[in-house]
């Protein structure tokens, strides 16, 4: 773990996206008392903080030996930077050993602050995610069985099918569904599935977050779709 008596905080940037990786390295490299290292290995000076993406972070946190995944010092702290982060996924990652989460649209000051906080041994979650986590934690968590029922419910399965799949009674499924809808504050099965997808509890394409930020690619895709529909209508 980094100590204030040391000259700098060693940071290893392990991101797949070249542009994001270059931006993070440049930001940290121009910050006093931060040093971007090319290897997290102890023999190379080690890394007090490792900045990476979701998939790599979970493997690193679990100390999984996979080709291409760096091996870290036991004291290295893991910071995830991601374009989006759902509450359930963040909470799970923190339980699994990830130490911090920030969004890729964060400011340079927040990136530096997150690195410094982690280096000092404390966790860091950006304010936007922390607020959603606080709201989520104020409600009762879903049980493991309720999550299983919810995942099947989100796929459109009826109570009888869910009961058969899980080997439980239909009445038990109904009880779980009632509990799910109460905890998620949903008024229907569809709304429950939508909320669950928003929180990252389930991953069903048709229920993914509708709060998607604008991007040129998405806009172009919508324009092409609209153009195609217009052409068909005029044919």
Q: What is the DSSP letter of 98?
A: -
Q: What gap in Å lies between CA 204 and CA 229, rounded to an integer?
A: 26
The secondary element (H helix, E strand) that includes residue 125 is: strand 124-125
Q: How many CB atoms lie within 10 A of CB 23?
A: 16
In this prediction, residue 6 carries a pLDDT of 59
pLDDT recorded at residue 23: 94
**Domain ranges in the chain with CATH number 1.10.10.10:** 144-207
Question: In which residue ranges of the chain is CATH 3.40.50.2300 found?
Answer: 9-137
Contact in structure between 79 and 114 (CB atoms under 8 Å)? yes
pTM over 0.85: no
Which residues have CB under 8 Å from 14's CB, separation 6+?
40, 50, 51, 52, 53, 56, 60, 70
Q: Which fold has domain 144-207?
A: Arc Repressor Mutant, subunit A (1.10.10)
DSSP 36: E
What span, in angstroms and rounded, lies between the C-alpha atoms of 28 and 118? Answer: 14
Supply 40's token pair. 């997290």
CATH number for the domain formed by residue range(s) 9-137: 3.40.50.2300
The CA distances from residue 151 to 47, 137, 141, 177, 221, in Å, are 38, 20, 15, 11, 29
Question: What is the pLDDT tens value at each position of the chain, 235 positions in all?
Answer: 555 655 789 999 999 899 999 999 999 999 999 999 988 776 556 789 999 998 888 888 887 676 777 777 778 999 999 888 777 778 878 888 999 999 999 999 999 999 999 999 999 999 888 877 776 654 557 888 998 999 899 888 999 999 999 999 999 999 999 999 888 888 899 888 888 877 777 765 554 444 333 333 433 443 344 343 333 333 3
- The Cα–Cα gap between 115 and 100 comes to 9
- The conformation of residue 29, written as its DSSP 8-state character, comes to H
């Amino acid at each position: 773990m980094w100590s204030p008596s040391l000259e700098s905080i060693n940071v290893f940037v392990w991101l797949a996206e070249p542009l994001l990786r270059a931006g993070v390295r440049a930001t940290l490299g121009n910050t006093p008392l931060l040093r971007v290292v090319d290897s997290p290995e102890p023999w190379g000076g080690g890394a007090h903080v490792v900045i990476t993406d979701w998939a790599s972070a979970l493997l690193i946190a679990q100390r999984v030996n996979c080709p291409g995944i760096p091996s870290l010092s036991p004291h290295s702290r893991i910071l995830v930077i991601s374009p989006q982060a759902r509450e359930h996924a963040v909470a799970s990652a923190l339980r699994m050993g990830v130490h911090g989460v920030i969004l890729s649209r964060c400011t340079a000051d927040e990136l530096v602050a997150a690195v410094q906080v982690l280096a000092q041994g404390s966790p860091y979650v950006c304010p936007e995610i922390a607020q959603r986590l606080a709201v989520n934690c104020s409600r009762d968590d879903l049980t493991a069985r309720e999550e299983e029922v919810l995942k099947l419910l989100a796929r459109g399965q009826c109570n009888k099918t869910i009961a058969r799949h899980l080997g439980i009674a239909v009445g038990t499924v109904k009880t779980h569904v009632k509990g799910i809808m109460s905890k998620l504050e949903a008024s229907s099965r569809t709304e429950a599935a939508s909320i669950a997808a928003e929180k990252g509890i389930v991953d069903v394409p048709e229920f993914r977050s509708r709060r998607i930020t604008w991007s040129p690619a998405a806009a172009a895709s919508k324009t092409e779709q609209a153009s195609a529909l217009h052409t068909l209508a005029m044919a």
